[in-house]
A and B are shown apart, each in its own frame.
Chain A
């Protein structure tokens, strides 16, 4: 039973346009959500996070939106660049003492010129 779901395995976007990556979750106890980016043959790198008490967090070209009532979050990349081409993982954690991240299956983003 997957608690964090990324239903789009891949996304293709033109350079300069907006990329929107989506993530759904089922556990209402999750209180922190994170996005990771992964290049081939490398480990995931932390991108941006959001606490469940917020509905938006922005860092440069990256913005994460959280809709708690829909149990949905999204990552917006504006403008998209070819270097953004990677696999993006959504992850969630529950409770301060838990220390565990539950990952989605990832979305492969390709940004073409």
Chain B
């Protein structure tokens, strides 16, 4: 089945130690997103790629970076994780011109910072 896969499902990292979360897709969608969701809060968009064009949200901290080496893969790099970065990180894709078709989400990576 075509899908969006996030690895790992659970990630524990030390305060200040760089960490990378990965996302891959078999849908061949041209748009990929990274969302951050903290407990009981709305998912918050960090950035997205339209093909190779990177779009950063104005309030995304500089600590968060992203790479998209090809259509299938997208990475989220947190350069110096703080305790406040503990959250669920969701990767999503969108393809097609019909905006009402919605995004396809991965299962997420739950990040714990110790």
Contacts and interface: CB of A to CB of B under 8 A. Distances in A.
B105 A45 contact: yes
A72 B105 CA distance: 25
Interface in B28-81: 31, 35, 40-45, 48, 50, 55
B107 A89 contact: no
B18 interface: no
B43 A50 contact: no
A32 B98 CA distance: 10
A89 B44 CA distance: 12
B42 A96 contact: no
Interface in B65-114: 90, 92, 94, 99-108
B50 A43 contact: no
B94 A43 contact: no
B21 interface: no
B99 A44 contact: no
Interface string A1-32: 01010000100000000000000000000001
A32 B100 contact: yes
Nearest to A47: B102
A50 B55 CA distance: 26
B101 A49 contact: yes
A24 B104 CA distance: 23
A34 interface: yes
